[in-house]
Amino acid sequence: MKNFNKTIAFSSILIGSSSCLMADNKPAIEKPNLIVIMADDLGYADVGFNGCKDIPTPNIDSIAKNGIRFTNGYVSYAVCGPSRAGFMTGRYQQRFGFERNPQYRPDDPNMGLPKTEMTLADSLGKVGYNSGIIGKWHLGAHPSNHPLKRGFNHFFGHLGGGHQYFPELLTIKDSYNVRKDREESDSYRTWILNDHQPEKTTKYLTDEFSDAAIRFVEKNKDKPFFLYLAYNAPHGPLQATEKYLKRFPDIKDKKRRTYAAMVSAVDDGVGLLLNKLKELKLEDNTIIFFLSDNGGPEKKNASDNGPLRDGKGSIYEGGWRVPFAMQWTKKIKPGVYDYPVNSLDIFGTISALSGSPTKNPLDGVNLIPYITGEIKKAPHKTVNLRKFDAKQHAIRLGNYKLVTRENGEEKELYDLKDDIGEKNNIAEKYPEKVKEIDAIRVQWDSELIEPTFLGLTHTKRWMKKKKKKPKK
Nearer to Ca ion, 50 or 294 (CB): 294
Candidates 77-85, 268-276, 296-304, 331-339: pick the segment binding Ca ion (CB under 5 A): 77-85
Nearer to Ca ion, 43 or 398 (CB): 43
With binding defined as CB under 5 A, does residue 36 bind Ca ion? no
Interface with Ca ion (CB under 5 A), residue from 32, 33, 37, 40: 40
Query: What's the closest the beta carbon of residue 54 comes to Ca ion, in angstroms?
Result: 21
With binding defined as CB under 5 A, does residue 46 bind Ca ion? no
CB 322 within 8 A of CB 294: yes
Interface with Ca ion (CB under 5 A), residue from 293, 310, 363, 415: 293
Query: What's the closest the beta carbon of residue 55 comes to Ca ion, in angstroms?
Result: 18
| Catalytic entry in 138, 142, 154, 380 | 138
Query: What's the closest the beta carbon of residue 200 comes to Ca ion, in angstroms?
Result: 26
With binding defined as CB under 5 A, does residue 294 bind Ca ion? yes
Dihedrals phi, psi of 274, to nearest 5 degrees? -65, -40
The CB-nearest residue to Ca ion is 80
CA distance 369 to 349: 10
Torsion-angle region of 195 (φ positive above 0: left; ψ -120 to 50: alpha; else: beta): left
Query: What's the closest the beta carbon of residue 136 comes to Ca ion, in angstroms?
Result: 8
Dihedrals phi, psi of 430, to nearest 5 degrees? -125, 65
> Is 52 an annotated catalytic residue?
no
Which residues in the 394-453 window bind Ca ion by CB under 5 A? none
Q: Say which DSSP state 400 is in.
A: E
Interface with Ca ion (CB under 5 A), residue from 75, 80, 341, 362: 80
Neighbours of 23 (CB within 10 A): 6
| Catalytic entry in 80, 142, 154, 380 | 80
Nearer to Ca ion, 79 or 111 (CB): 79
With binding defined as CB under 5 A, does residue 41 bind Ca ion? yes
Element (H, E) at 256: helix 254-279
Query: What's the closest the beta carbon of residue 391 comes to Ca ion, in angstroms?
Result: 22
CA 244 to chain centre: 24
CA distance 82 to 88: 10
Burial class for 189, CB neighbours closer than 10 Å (0-12, 13-18, 19+):
middle
> Is 138 an annotated catalytic residue?
yes
Q: What angle do CA 320, 321, 327 make, to 5 degrees?
A: 125
Neighbours of 203 (CB within 10 A): 14
Q: Say which DSSP state 228 is in.
A: E
Q: Give catalytic residue positions.
A: 80, 138
Residues of this chain that interact with Ca ion (CB under 5 A) are 40-41, 80, 293-294
